[in-house]
Structure 1
């Protein structure tokens, strides 16, 4: 599950964010405790706690004192907006710059995208 590319606590946070974004974890749904998470993945509880604190700071999850951690009601929408913006900045903008350098018209890019879209996908 974990790799050497980034700190484990960041990988945990990204995994939970991904679960929220995909709807695996829903608004106000309880998530595993840091202790459960640490035991399940066999990691240091402090590492899990650091990931969970990051998620609290980013308003992805919230604490109910004495009860546990829960998915914040607006987390999915916020994550979707953040990821969309990152997509444009990290993927689309560099692609368009490369297309300009290669003299590829935007119309050709749009046509290619339409070829690869699913039937009925009007988005």
Structure 2
């Protein structure tokens, strides 16, 4: 069994959803692939099946997976493109401003950012 550490900072269903999203973005899950069953995930990670169902339902609500009656949940064809678009937008809106602020605070220039292995004294 895979040992998983769940953070106290977010609900477990959301953390599980993010793990599935990461698998999609990393190419572990590809369009048309079946997601592990709710029962399988619940047993493997020692979670309540309702928790797993909630994570899967959010993925379905975002059209990243589709339910096939009697067969399970499958990654949709456009899921990767939708995920990349939303993750890029979220990065630019939420994360990039903080990164940019830190870059400016530290006085880093483009050359230092593109060549981080270059030592400070090697100018």
1:94 is matched with 98
Alignment partner of 1:22 out of 26, 30, 44: 26
Question: Which structure shows the bigger proportion of residues in helix conformation?
Answer: 1
Unmatched runs of 5 consecutive residues or more in structure 2: 118-123
1:30 deviates by: 0.6
Distance 1:111 1:93 in 2: 20
Unmatched runs of 5 consecutive residues or more in structure 1: 118-123
Alignment partner of 1:12 out of 16, 19, 30: 16
1:8 deviates by: 0.8
Check if 1:77 corresponds to 2:81.
Answer: yes
Number of paired residues?
Answer: 113
Pairwise CA RMSD = 2.0
TM-score by length of 1: 0.81
The DSSP-based 3-state class of the residue aligned with 1:30 is: coil
Distance 1:60 1:47 in 2: 18
Distance 2:51 2:106 in 1: 48
Distance 1:96 1:9 in 2: 31
